[in-house]
Structure formats: structure tokens, C-alpha cells
Amino acid sequence: MENQTNGKRISDLFDNNGRWNEEKIFFTATGSMPSSRRYYLIDPEVAFEALAKAFEVKLHDMVVDDFVHVPRNHRKKQRAYLFLTPTLLACWNNVFGGMELFHINGNDTASFEKAERIILDSFRYGIGPGKLSMFFQDGAGGFRVMDHKVNMPNPDLDLYFNESLKDADKKITHALNDYNSKGVVLLHGAKGTGKTTYMRSLISRINKKFVIVPVDMIFGLASPGLLPHFLNMPDSILVLEDADQLLADRQGMGNDFVTNICEFSDGLLSDCVNLKFVLSFSTPIAQIDQSLVRHGRLLASYEFEALTSDKCNHLLKSLDKDIQVDKAMTLAEVYQRAMQGEAKNEKKRIGFK
């Protein structure tokens, strides 16, 4: 004997693929065809918790379809729904990466507007300090975006970098925070000068979706399979580290990677996806494809250099190291020097005196 709801069989609420259908659920509960509104880039955990509290309903009444990645002990909502009132249904659908409100048009508009305000306050799924996303290809060759919660410290810029970064940082953060801006930020300099450390600072301070693009996926940026993902995350920031070989000037031969970046940063495609790029590299900027530094495409750039001796000594002091240097050193060299000092002190403590 099949379970029934309001005279309907439970099986009537599912589609041919065995997945529940929100419109059928709403119609079964209310007897009316629903109107609906979708909201993209939403954090479902934050939204459902706030909605349940505001409408005084219980979260354990929510129906959930979870995905569990056992090796990573990672759980993620694929689909979920919760009735907020008898005629207002809130749903999460990971297929399109957003929430949806089902309601009877013109009925109890106060409740609908109240729910909408709460959902909008939960705007930007996968965004915030310490949140990163990464593109990858699954076993079937499809593209996926996975969100990660990481420990993202906010390093003290005065401590780790030269004074010249202050003005550049203002320009970079302004460009990345501006919803209407689109283009490229170039972070270049010798290895060990702190480019990755500075990127961690940007991620911790800027409330945008940062997406890491692995090197092996670079040339697929313009793939039709990726475009739906880009359309669902406007105003996001794509990060490409150590992109030296990809940015190299081909001496008139053309560069497919740079062409893709240009299309996304200021071509007609950029008007649809509204993306920004942060590229780091060690190659001298004069040796990269110069189309990247054209006016209107380049948002900002900064060359990371070795720390002055005064900056080095200030950093060593902050690390509680009684060490003085009299020359400029990279950030990596300063930390290596500090570790060498520890090793020498350890050797002095070993053995009889």
C-alpha cells in the first residue's frame, strides 16, 4: 500500500527520473499552481537557518537530498525544501546552484517579501573570508565547481611587504571590489617575493567568489561546458598562479590562452559573465603578451621585489629572532634565514659545556 498525501500517492510527486518535483509538491499541498522566483549564488545553510527562525518552523521538517563524499567526509545538500507557511515553499536545488520560492501570486505577499529579504541577505554562495572554489573535470569529462573552506590568514601588509605596495593595494582592492569592473590584475616578481602571501590577503579581505583554475584547464576557459558555470557566478574572481608559460609573448604567433583571457575580460563575452582575473607570474612583465597590459583591460599590476634591509630586520624581530641583516632579501629568504638561526641555536644547546 503506497503512502498518500492529501489523497495523492507519494509516487505522484516524483518525475520520471525518480526525483521529487517541487511544483507537484506545492500543488498537492495547496491545490493551486505556484508562481516561483529563483535566487542564485545563495548559501543554503545560512538561508534555511534564517528562514526557519524567522517563520518559526523546524529545520528537521525540511526534506533533504544529501550528497556525501566519504573519503573527504564532506556532506553537501543537493536538493532540499521546507514549507515556511501553508502557501510558501522554499527550495534549494544544486543543479542550478540557487534557491527558489514557490508561492501563490498575490496571496500573502508580506510573507513572500519577508522570505525574499532573508534569502537576499544570504547572497553569494561560496563567498566570504576563507572560502575558495576550484574548477575540475569529473570522470565523464564534465566540468564541476567545488567549494572549500580553508584557513586563510590575513597577513599584515606593513610587515611582509615594502611600502610601495600600499598605493597599489588600494588600487587592486578597489578594482576587485567594484561590481562593474572587469579585466586583469597582474602580480609579478621573482620567486619567493610574496605573491601567494598577498593573494591570501586579498581572499581574506574581499567578499567575492575566488575560483582557482588549475593549469591543465586553462585552455578550456572558453569551452561551452564552462560557460553555464560562469553565468551562474557573475562578479567572481578567477585566480591563476605561476602562469608564466601561458602568458609568454609568442612573437606574433598568437596565444590561445591570452585570447581567452581577453575575451572574458573585455570582449563581448565579458558583458555576459562579468569576471575578473588575478594572474601571478615570475617572468619580467616586458616578456609577456602585451595585449594583457592594454588600457581598458589591465585593472592594476604590481611588481613584488626583495624586502629592504629595514623591512627584513623588522620582520625578523616580529618572529622573535635576534638576527640582523644588511641587505635586501626576499620574503622566502627572510624565513629561511630565521630557520637557519634556530638550527644554529639548537646546535649550541646540544652536548656538554
Mention every residue, 6+ apart, whose C-beta is less than 8 A from residue 233.
Answer: 41, 97, 126, 145, 209, 211
**What percent of the chain clears pLDDT 90, i.e. is strictly above it?**
37
Which residues are 14's β-sheet partners? 20
pLDDT classification of 170: cutoffs 50, 70, 90: very high
Instruction: Report d(CA 312, CA 323) in Å as an integer.
Output: 10
User: Is residue 242 scored above 70 in pLDDT?
Assistant: yes
Measuring CA to CA, how many Å separate 154 from each of 28, 162, 197, 202, 330?
51, 16, 9, 8, 19
User: Is residue 164 scored above 90 in pLDDT?
Assistant: yes
| pLDDT of 131 | 64
Residue, of 219 and 304, whose pLDDT is higher: 304
Instruction: Report d(CA 42, CA 98) in Å as an integer.
Output: 6
- The sheet that has 88-93: what strands, in order across it? 35-40, 98-103, 88-93, 74-85, 63-69
Helices 331-349 + 309-318 axis angle, to 10: 50
| pLDDT of 42 | 78
| pLDDT of 253 | 52
Beta-strand relationship, 98-103 and 88-93: antiparallel
**Mean pLDDT within 135-157:** 70
**Mean pLDDT within 139-164:** 77
| pLDDT of 8 | 61
Instruction: Report d(CA 279, CA 298) in Å as an integer.
Output: 11
| pLDDT of 10 | 64
User: Is residue 148 scored above 70 in pLDDT?
Assistant: no
Range from 136-140, 276-280, 344-348 carrying the lowest mean pLDDT: 344-348
Whether this prediction's pTM lies above 0.85 is answered by no
Domains in the chain: ranges and CATH: 4-121 (no CATH), 131-304 (3.40.50.300), 309-349 (no CATH)
Residue ranges of E strands in the chain: 4-5, 8-9, 35-40, 63-69, 74-85, 88-93, 98-103, 131-137, 143-149, 183-189, 210-212, 237-240, 276-281, 298-304
| pLDDT of 142 | 65
Instruction: Report d(CA 189, CA 302) in Å as an integer.
Output: 8
| DSSP structure class, residue 294 | S
Residue found under cell 578597489 = 174
Instruction: Report d(CA 308, CA 191) in Å as an integer.
Output: 16
| pLDDT of 134 | 78
Mention every residue, 6+ apart, whose C-beta is less than 8 A from residue 336.
Answer: none
| pLDDT of 269 | 74
Residue 259: in which H helix or E strand, if any? helix 256-266
Mean pLDDT of the chain: 80
- Residue pLDDT, tens place only, 259-283: 777 877 777 777 777 789 999 999 9
Residue, of 194 and 179, whose pLDDT is higher: 194
- Residue pLDDT, tens place only, 310-326: 999 999 999 999 899 99
User: Is residue 349 scored above 70 in pLDDT?
Assistant: no
| pLDDT of 252 | 54
Instruction: Report d(CA 200, CA 22) in Å as an integer.
Output: 41
CA dihedral 21→26→32→38, nearest 10 degrees, is -80
| pLDDT of 93 | 83
CB 148 within 8 A of CB 133: yes
**Mean pLDDT within 283-307:** 91
| pLDDT of 150 | 62
| pLDDT of 352 | 37
CB 190 within 8 A of CB 306: yes
